[in-house]
């Protein structure tokens, strides 16, 4: 086969080829998830511990008044469930970014980045794949929670899906953005301390914001500007068939900002080339 | 001794390769005036050479010469800071999709997914190139047969030997039928037989399929006199051309001596295997 007689391939990619690429990335993420059963179990155990132990313990301490979207008094377990759903997605987003750091260190990431598909599209596919995994985890949690008398209206299981996809995309793109700035796997522990815990605790996941405002106005404002708060509220309202427009706008806006940041960070002319080759390479 | 670059312009109908022979069509790979810095440290300085279609070009350099940086630039893992890289006339910065679809690459570190099977790794790579599942399975069967892994399609990659993993990486790099193949220290850590097998296979690809190959190495015994050669040292090209010509111009008796003479290293400091 001489180059002179090789037919020129058509420029660009067809819609079907883009779809094939998306399928391939989601399929690979799914396979990895299946191979890492302990990841699935730990993703479920964490929120279940909060639900079964923490919520039960605080039930008598933290009274919940009637606040939207709830139309009656609710148990504390019911209140924190949307926060725990978002927590699953937060940890999954960070787990995905951890795997991206690992893949980059191990070299697997190169397989993705040397694909001829546009890089923004590859990252978006990876993001969608991670979100799909997190949504599966959330529904598994909701199934277990149902036996614990966490019973949102049946339609809520459907209406929460778009909210989960959006919040999953936001938290996944945040993780992707963070992963672009981490050079070594060891540095990822800092993400736990400086991103996950502050985001989770300074939000409406565990306590309503009016309660926070009573205790600390400063913390209240921090919670208000925390994107995770809006992910929680978007899920909370959607789980009851309602819409929180402010949260929707914030989540969409933050997703766009984080995604653009991640694409720029993984752009070879801006991000990766400032670092040297991986260890051992010459 | 620094040789003047025999610059060839990608896109010219008649192009002059490293060895001075002309070939029709565009250069498989044209690197023109590439420089790259990591902060204040310069890793590559004004590097220019071409790889002809259906040719085997060895990129010879010690550890730290800048080979992997060069590969990262050609594969667009890094952005080009100065100069131009084009693959069959497609500029890697301007037309990355068109350039990368013509390129197959085997990196120095293993880039396989150890938890997936041989076939699953190939199917994943095919999907990244937009090749549908049916076509990918057909191609996977072909490349596995060609590379001698036809009996291991369902094996987990982590169960393969080092040589088999490398062969699988080459099979993967060939899956989308590239016209240029880059291999960065592809035989490092392998035994003599596995090294010979892989090298023989890659040379066969040049002859049978007309693929242009850029083979980065620090091992002299992987290079034969008829190969094209680029000697990279401390980020700069010291010599390029057909091996016999480089040796003759260095007034050395063999490639090893020529390399030591050009780089000013001794066998003790050089680190390259004789």
pLDDT tens figures, B97-147: 999 999 999 988 888 888 889 999 999 999 999 999 999 999 999 889 888
**Residue found by looking up tokens 């399609």 in the block:** B153
Nearest-Å Rg of the Cα atoms of chain A is: 21
Percent of chain B with pLDDT over 90: 45
The pLDDT of residue A107 is above 80: no
Exposed / middle / buried, residue A243 (Cβ in 10 Å: 0-12, 13-18, 19+): middle
Percent of chain A with pLDDT over 70: 83
Tokens (6 digits) for B235: 């980020």
Mean pLDDT of A233-239: 94
Q: In what order do the strands lie in the sheet with B41-51?
A: B41-51, B29-38, B82-87, B90-91
Nearest CA in chain B to A34: B115
Residue B265 pLDDT class (50, 70, 90 cuts): confident
Residue that wins the pLDDT comparison between A56 and A234: A234
The pLDDT of residue A139 is above 90: yes
Residue A183: the pLDDT is 67
Residue B70 distance to chain A (closest CA, Å)? 9
Nearest CA in chain B to A28: B124
Residue B188 pLDDT class (50, 70, 90 cuts): confident
Residue B10: the pLDDT is 34
Sorted by where each begins, the domain ranges of chain B are: 1-99+254-274, 103-178
Mean pLDDT of A228-237: 95
Mutate to test the interface with B, among A268, A269, A272 (most CBs of B within 10 A): A268
The winner for highest mean pLDDT among A83-97, A139-153, A170-184, A229-243 is: A229-243
pLDDT tens-place string over residues B8-60 = 333 333 454 554 444 556 899 999 999 999 888 889 999 999 999 999 999 99
Residue A128 pLDDT class (50, 70, 90 cuts): very high
Residue A279 pLDDT class (50, 70, 90 cuts): very low
Tokens (6 digits) for B164: 């088999």
SS3 B87: strand
Which residues contact residue B13 at a Cβ distance below 8 angstroms, ignoring those fewer than 6 apart? B24, B25
- Assess contact for B52 and B199: CB atoms under 8 A: no
Partner-chain contact B123 A24, CB within 8 Å: yes
Which residues on adjacent β-strands are paired with residue B42? B37
What span, in angstroms and rounded, lies between the C-alpha atoms of B34 and B93? 13
**Residue found by looking up tokens 């940041």 in the block:** A261
Task: Please give the mean pLDDT across all residues of chain A.
Answer: 82
Mean pLDDT of A31-51: 82
The pLDDT of residue B268 is above 50: no
What span, in angstroms and rounded, lies between the C-alpha atoms of A123 and B49? 33
CATH topology of domain B103-178: Helicase, Ruva Protein; domain 3 (1.10.8)
| Nearest Cα to Cα of residue B97 among B128, B121, B133, B69 | B128
SS3 A101: helix
| Nearest Cα to Cα of residue B100 among B67, B122, B125 | B125
Mean pLDDT of A166-175: 92
SS3 A221: helix
What span, in angstroms and rounded, lies between the C-alpha atoms of A270 and A259? 15
CATH superfamily, domain at B1-99+254-274:
P-loop containing nucleotide triphosphate hydrolases (3.40.50.300)
b (16+ CB within 10 A) / e for A196-219: beebbebbbbbbebebbeeeeeee
pTM, rounded to two decimals: 0.81
Residue A99 pLDDT class (50, 70, 90 cuts): confident
Residue of A2, A18, A113 lying closest to B53 (CB–CB):
A2
CA B186 to chain centre: 9
Residue A32 pLDDT class (50, 70, 90 cuts): confident
């Amino acid at each position: 086969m001489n180059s002179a007689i090789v037919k020129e391939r058509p420029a660009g990619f067809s819609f079907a080829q883009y779809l094939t690429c998306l399928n391939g990335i989601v399929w690979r993420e799914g396979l990895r998830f299946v191979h890492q059963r302990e990841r699935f179990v730990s993703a479920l155990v964490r929120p279940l511990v909060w639900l079964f132990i923490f919520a039960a313990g605080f039930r008598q301490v933290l009274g919940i008044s009637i606040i939207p979207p709830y139309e009656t008094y609710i148990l504390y377990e019911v209140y924190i469930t949307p926060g725990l759903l978002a927590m699953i997605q937060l940890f999954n987003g960070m787990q995905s970014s951890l795997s991206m750091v690992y893949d980059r260190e191990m070299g697997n990431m190169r397989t993705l980045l040397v694909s001829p598909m546009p890089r923004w599209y590859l990252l978006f596919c990876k993001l969608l794949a991670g979100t799909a995994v997190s949504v599966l985890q959330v529904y598994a949690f909701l199934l277990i929670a149902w036996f614990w008398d966490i019973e949102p209206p049946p339609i809520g299981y459907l209406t929460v899906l778009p909210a989960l996809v959006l919040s999953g995309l936001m938290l996944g793109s945040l993780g992707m953005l963070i992963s672009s700035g981490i050079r070594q796997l060891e540095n990822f522990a800092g993400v736990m301390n400086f991103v996950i815990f502050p985001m989770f605790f300074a939000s409406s996941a565990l306590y309503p914001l009016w309660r926070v405002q009573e205790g600390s106005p400063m913390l209240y404002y921090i919670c208000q500007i925390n994107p995770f708060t809006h992910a929680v509220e978007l899920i909370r309202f959607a789980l009851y068939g309602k819409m929180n427009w402010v949260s929707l706008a914030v989540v969409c806006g933050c997703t766009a900002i984080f995604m653009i940041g991640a694409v720029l960070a993984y752009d070879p002319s801006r991000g990766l080339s400032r670092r040297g080759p991986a260890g051992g390479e010459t | 001794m620094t040789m003047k670059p025999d610059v060839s312009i990608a896109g010219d109908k008649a192009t002059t390769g490293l060895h001075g022979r002309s070939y029709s069509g565009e250069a498989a790979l044209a690197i023109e005036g590439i420089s790259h810095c990591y902060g204040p440290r310069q890793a590559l300085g004004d590097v220019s050479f071409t790889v002809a279609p259906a040719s085997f070009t060895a990129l010879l350099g010690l550890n730290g010469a800048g080979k992997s940086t060069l590969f990262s630039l050609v594969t667009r893992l890094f952005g080009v800071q100065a100069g131009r890289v084009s693959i069959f006339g497609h500029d890697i910065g301007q037309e990355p999709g068109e350039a990368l679809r013509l390129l197959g690459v085997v990196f120095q570190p293993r880039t396989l997914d150890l938890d997936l099977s041989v076939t699953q790794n190939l199917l994943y790579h095919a999907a990244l190139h937009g090749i549908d599942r049916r076509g990918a399975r057909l191609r996977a069967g072909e490349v596995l047969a060609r590379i001698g892994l036809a009996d291991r399609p369902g094996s987990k990659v982590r169960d393969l030997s080092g040589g088999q993993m490398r062969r699988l990486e080459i099979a993967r790099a060939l899956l989308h039928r590239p016209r240029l193949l880059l291999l960065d220290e592809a035989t490092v850590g392998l035994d003599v037989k596995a090294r010979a097998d892989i090298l023989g296979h890659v040379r066969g690809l040049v002859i049978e399929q007309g693929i242009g190959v850029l083979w980065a190495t620090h091992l002299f015994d992987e290079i034969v006199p008829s190969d094209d050669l680029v000697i990279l040292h401390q980020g700069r090209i010291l010599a390029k051309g057909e091996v016999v010509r480089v040796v003759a111009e260095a007034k050395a008796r063999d490639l090893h001596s020529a390399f030591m003479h050009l780089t000013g290293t001794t066998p003790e400091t050089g680190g390259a295997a004789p």
